[in-house]
A and B are shown apart, each in its own frame.
Chain A
């Protein structure tokens, strides 16, 4: 199947996964392919992927709560800053895939070490390897986030090719200290993105379709996104 058809037909936000657990081998193979085919500036890969498997239910519940808190805090700040007049009265049901899934990936910043080629450039030619410094993690955050986006896009494709479903999430508490407060002490660096994976039982679009609002939740027109100079 062509890439376009795969994404159009298969990538849909999951409301709920079924109980069937995909084989670990499928996940490992897809992760290997994503690692192998995703480029990185200076070959640094300054991010790390944590995989939370089927037995990590308690940890996923905690991560889900960090998502709800991230969302609630953002809404409260908006009210405080007078950008909004009220906060939501319900928990967003579209975060539930973070709690109930066979596999969850969370991607975090990582301090990298230069390979032999770049070490030579650093030691003998004055190249600066910003991915190697804790002090630069914040400064290079958005260029690392672009690389994470490329990685997750490739990983999504390999999982979808294996008939799996995936869903993304970008709303969560970003300070590792918030993760420590709920007992996730293995997290040392800032989370950038999370994605769940499994076999879907129900998709978000089915809810929106039932509410007869599918025509309302559309993208901006292409001319707003692409501009020929």
Chain B
């Protein structure tokens, strides 16, 4: 199947996954292919993918709580800053976005974090001639996070492709507490560096678009026109 058709037909945000667990080999193979085919500046790969398998139910509940907390905090802050007048009520437990549920209930969750890198032999030599290898300094993790995030996007897009080719479903999430200390507070001490994105994986049972279709509002949730996004100079 061509790349365009694969994405158009198969990539849909999952509301709930089926209980059936995909074999670990499928996930390992897709991760290996994503590692192998994703390029990185200075061959540094200044990120690390943590894989939370089917037995990590408690950890996924903890990660989900960091997602819900982030959502609530962002809305509270917007009210404080005068950019909104009300919140959805997540802070008081009145509301929980159902489309975060895939973070808590899934066979596999992949969270991608910043990583300090060390130069390969080629770049060791370049450093000696004055090349600056910013991926190797803790002080630069925050400074370069947006360029690392682009690379993470490329990695996750490739991983998506390999998982979809295996007949699996995936869903992304970009809303979560980003400081490792917040992760430590809920017991996730193994997380030492800043999270950048998360992706869940399994076999979809119900998709978000089905909810919108039932509510007859699917046509309202559309992208900006291509003319707003692409501009020929």
Contact = CB atoms under 8 A, between A and B. Distances in A.
A39 interface: yes
A168 interface: yes
B39 interface: yes
A39 B165 CA distance: 18
B147 interface: yes
Contacts of B53: 228-229
Contacts, number: 257
A145 interface: yes
Given A50-B231, A218-B120, A225 B51 contact: no
Size class of the B contact interface (CB-based, 8 Å): 35 or more
Contacts of B154: 149-150, 152-153
A51 B130 contact: no
A50 B129 CA distance: 34
Interface in B40-68: 40-41, 43-45, 47-53, 56, 59
Contacts of A110: 228-229
Nearest to A35: B226
Contacts of A170: 41, 147, 150-151
A71 B139 CA distance: 18
Interface of B: 2-4, 7-8, 11, 13, 31-33, 35-37, 39-41, 43-45, 47-53, 56, 59, 74-75, 78, 81, 83-89, 115, 117-118, 120-123, 125, 127, 129-132, 134, 137, 139, 145-147, 149-158, 160-162, 165, 172, 174-175, 190, 196-197, 212, 217, 220-224, 226, 228-233
The 5 closest A-B pairs by CB, nearest first: A149-B153, A153-B157, A145-B149, A217-B122, A216-B121
20 contacts: A36-B8, A39-B172, A43-B222, A48-B228, A53-B233, A74-B132, A87-B132, A116-B221, A121-B88, A143-B175, A145-B150, A153-B154, A153-B158, A193-B150, A220-B120, A224-B45, A224-B48, A224-B115, A225-B49, A227-B49
